[in-house]
Amino acid sequence: MNSCDEAGGELAGAARSPPLPLEWKFSQVFGERAAGEEVQEVDIISAIEFDKTGDYLATGDRGGRVVLFERTDTKNHVTSRRDLERMDYPISKHLEFRYKTEFQSHEPEFDYLKSLEIEEKINKIRWCQTANSALFLLSTNDKTMKFWKVQEKKVKKITDINVDPSKAVGNGCIASSSDSSCHKPYRANGGYADRVYNGLSNDFTFPPGGIPSLHLPVVTSHETSLVARCRRVYAHAHDYHINSISNNSDGETFISADDLRINLWNLEISNQSFNIVDVKPQNMEDLTEVITSAEFHPTHCNMLAYSSSKGSIRLVDLRQSALCDSHAKLFEEPEASGSRSFFTEIIASISDIKFAKDGRYILSRDYMTLKLWDIKMDSGPVTTFQVHEYLRPKLCDLYENDSIFDKFECCLSSDGLRVATGSYSNLFRVFGCATGSTEASTLEASKNPMRRQVHTPSRPSRSLSSITRFVRRGAESPGVDANGNSFDFTTKLLHLAWHPMENSIACAAANSLYMYYA
């Protein structure tokens, strides 16, 4: 083999080697709690979403508010490449965001026909395509979706009509200290009462010094204000609580999903939707599973996936039929023999699914694990990541305090090499999913994210398959995680999002929004 072949072999070997684990650092926090400060229920964050460019971030809370943040680090620097090379200008180390605006998206309602109180809590937020420098987004609570337009508007500030309002009397009569009567009776439009003229003729001339009663407003400044306006309201289409909304890649349609149905909407039509998936049986006693999450394919406008409470994912092709009850593909993991228990079906329920950026893989989160699925391989997941295996002996306690029903979200990096999800004690996990990667980081939503880092053992405790990642076994002592730290079921990190362009994660711990970069 010559030197060229050897060099080529070394490059190929380097290309196959897994990327090094990322070192995560704290970036910023919004709404940080002071020590001992109580969190108001309405302030707890319930949804997080980056837009496609990564320049904007939206959060929703249980009080029905949507808060928008804007990226600032790209605007503060010179953007010309030639200038950067000439100045040897260092590019910003990490993303920086600032508060942009907020608005009340939903209010509490009451359904008098069903005697049902509808919470204002924001369940999901999805960004839509921008147009004319305006931002568009969808937000939903349990029953109603809204299409919002957020736009900057210039407000003109003008001078007062009268120079001195304290001296303005009637239609322009100027009061003076010596004589309170007008020297000449002026008309409202500035003409003299003792002179008749035709307003359309050109024989009228302004007297020297102007007309005292006529003062034209002068624009003194332009103030910019952000205005959020509700463009559409999509209501009365779901009998059960909405758990998902997802934009289509065509930029015109979106889906909304509840426990039993998925509806297809056009953004411009709010009074009509099409039911494309209906799993409701004729007899509700025959109901065995419900829809838990639904997501459109990122590039193919005719494909979508939805997950169920039984741990399965169905891929649907809208070209097959108008009602997509029959799926194109079914993804589920075969149940291991002899491993069934009372909690098996509960912890198998999928709480969230996300497509990878290229649409080739689907990431799913159930109570105990993250699973990565290849849409071209329906025999089982490509990889399974154990999120908090040390909780398995505590499933009885988790069931009694209802924590076992918590719905954790998941996300993928833009390059598809890593996945992330949340856990208890305000912890979140980041796993490497490239071939050969052993990356498995545990970080805390605080200013010191690596404080509770779990070190990856040199050897896995147990292998689920030849390509399954490591399994973390918990300590035997009660209330202690795999790293010897006590865990807290009341502080849970349910919501997080990965930046669409860079290695940056935004996550919600109660009412605080933490951001990290690597």
* Position with higher pLDDT, 323 vs 425: 425
pLDDT, residue 128, reads: 95
By percentage, how much of the chain surpasses pLDDT 70?
75
Our CA angle for 369, 371, 373, nearest 5°, is 170
Q: How confident is the model at residue 12 (pLDDT cuts 50, 70, 90)?
A: very low
By percentage, how much of the chain surpasses pLDDT 90?
60
Strand ranges inside 40-107, DSSP E: 45-50, 56-61, 65-71, 97-104
| Backbone torsions φ then ψ of 262, nearest 5 degrees | -125, 125
Quick check: 124 and 47 in contact, CB under 8 A? yes
What lies within 8 Å, CB to CB, of 289 at 6+ separation is: 279, 308, 309, 310, 312
* Position with higher pLDDT, 218 vs 82: 218
Which among 361, 292, 287 has a CA at the least distance from the CA of 331? 361
Q: How confident is the model at residue 9 (pLDDT cuts 50, 70, 90)?
A: very low
Average pLDDT over residues 370-382: 94
- Inform me whether the pLDDT recorded for 97 exceeds 70: yes
CA 518 remoteness from chain centre: 20
pLDDT, residue 34, reads: 79
Q: Which amino acid is at 228?
A: A
Which among 321, 313, 200, 225 has a CA at the least distance from the CA of 264? 321
Per-residue pLDDT of 167-182, as tens digits, reads 444 444 444 444 444 4
Q: How many CB atoms lie within 10 A of CB 229?
A: 12
What lies within 8 Å, CB to CB, of 338 at 6+ separation is: none
Q: How confident is the model at residue 88 (pLDDT cuts 50, 70, 90)?
A: low
pLDDT, residue 14, reads: 42
Q: How confident is the model at residue 295 (pLDDT cuts 50, 70, 90)?
A: very high
Q: How confident is the model at residue 45 (pLDDT cuts 50, 70, 90)?
A: very high
Q: In this predicted structure, which of 74-88, 134-148, 386-400 has the lowest mean pLDDT? A: 74-88
pLDDT, residue 457, reads: 36
| Backbone torsions φ then ψ of 320, nearest 5 degrees | -75, -45
- Inform me whether the pLDDT recorded for 196 exceeds 50: no
Quick check: 419 and 497 in contact, CB under 8 A? no
- Inform me whether the pLDDT recorded for 380 exceeds 70: yes
- Inform me whether the pLDDT recorded for 406 exceeds 70: yes
Residue 10 DSSP symbol: H
Per-residue pLDDT of 111-167, as tens digits, reads 888 888 999 999 999 999 988 889 999 999 999 999 999 998 887 777 666 555 554
Q: Which amino acid is at 60?
A: G
Our CA angle for 451, 455, 461, nearest 5°, is 140
pLDDT, residue 231, reads: 96
pLDDT, residue 87, reads: 53
Quick check: 509 and 424 in contact, CB under 8 A? no
pLDDT, residue 71, reads: 94
pLDDT, residue 202, reads: 61
d(CA 234, CA 216): 46
**How distant, in Å, are the alpha carbons of 117, 300, 305, 340, 474 from that of 292?**
22, 22, 11, 22, 28
- Inform me whether the pLDDT recorded for 65 exceeds 80: yes
Quick check: 263 and 256 in contact, CB under 8 A? yes
* Position with higher pLDDT, 111 vs 368: 368
pLDDT, residue 340, reads: 79
Per-residue pLDDT of 440-453, as tens digits, reads 999 999 988 776 55
pLDDT, residue 177, reads: 41
d(CA 342, CA 497): 32
* Position with higher pLDDT, 221 vs 347: 347
Quick check: 241 and 258 in contact, CB under 8 A? yes
Q: Which amino acid is at 244?
A: S
Most trustworthy range by pLDDT among 155-159, 281-285, 291-295: 291-295
Pairing, β 418-422 against β 427-432: antiparallel
Average confidence score pLDDT of the chain:
81
Pairing, β 219-234 against β 116-118: unpaired
- Inform me whether the pLDDT recorded for 78 exceeds 50: no
pLDDT, residue 461, reads: 32
- Inform me whether the pLDDT recorded for 476 exceeds 50: no
Q: Residue 152 in 3-state DSSP?
A: strand
**Exposure class string for 24-54: b at 16+ Cβ within 10 A, else e:** bebbbbbbeeeeeeeeeeeebbbbbbbbeeb
pLDDT, residue 506, reads: 97
Most trustworthy range by pLDDT among 63-77, 214-228, 379-393, 467-481: 379-393
d(CA 305, CA 1): 49
Strand ranges inside 267-341, DSSP E: 269-278, 291-296, 303-308, 313-317, 329-331
